Amino acid sequence: MLGLDYLDTGAMYRAMAWFMLDRGVDLDSEAAIAAVAGEPVLLSTTDPAGPTIAVDGLDVSAPIREQAVTGAVSAVAAVPQVRARLVELQREAVRQSLAAGRGIVVEGRDIGSVVLPDATAKIYLTADAEARAARRALEDAGRSGGAPPEAGDVAATAAALAARDAIDSGRAASPLRRADGSVEVDGTYLTLDEVIATIVEIVESAVVATGP
């Protein structure tokens, strides 16, 4: 629609968590995580039609969505050495897209506040806890090919999301917060198409405001 590249930074943190689990790193030890944070070679593609991520040449796009990684990612993402390395990779991906004459959508919890504070448009996309949990549970069920989520699945997902939000909001390095100058989009009662239309309008307005 806008002809932009796309980078899922959450997938990068998940890939790092997958690497730590695969290597048997003690996730209760920040020092142990920091010691190997520079080892894996991470490669993220930015094709919005099919973004992928690889660790040391292995495509981990599917494994990083498994429950073990979901449970580990916040602990790994809280380590400053991990964040410093991935932030630089994220900024490099942006530089490459801009050098190729394209813009890029960068999705993540600290993009407008830390990674790209001077972004043309900053969107703070949110929804109430019940809506987020229901959508995530449905997404997880669809990914695994299972039956539609039941009430217990949604409740468990809500608890997991709340726990992750608490960790991400309270971490010392790049805590989760709404970025200065961002536009909030509450998608609780919006369809996916309505959310997209709202964001496209915000981006187009920001581009016009900033000029060529």
Percent of the chain's residues with pLDDT above 70? 89
Secondary structure (DSSP) of the chain: ----EEEEHHHHHHHHHHHHHHHT--TT-HHHHHHHTTSS-EEE---TTS--EEETTEE-TTGGGSHHHHHHHHHHHTSHHHHHHHHHHHHHHHHHHHHTT--EEEESSSIIIII-TT-S--EEEE--HHHHHHHHHHHHHHHHT-PPP-HHHHHHHHHHHHHHHHHHHH-SSS---PPTT-EEEE-TT--HHHHHHHHHHHHHHHHHHH--
Tell me the mean pLDDT in the region 158-185: 77
Q: Is the pLDDT of residue 170 over 70?
A: no
Residue 44 has a pLDDT of 95
Residue 201 belongs to a domain with what CATH number? Answer: 3.40.50.300
At residue 100 the predicted structure's pLDDT band, cuts being 50, 70 and 90, is very high
pTM of the model: 0.82
Number of domains composing the chain: 1
Query: Among 42-46, 148-152, 164-168, 198-202, which stretch is predicted with the lowest mean pLDDT?
Result: 148-152
Q: Is the pLDDT of residue 186 over 80?
A: yes
Question: Which domain, by its residues, includes 74?
Answer: 5-210
Residue 68 has a pLDDT of 94
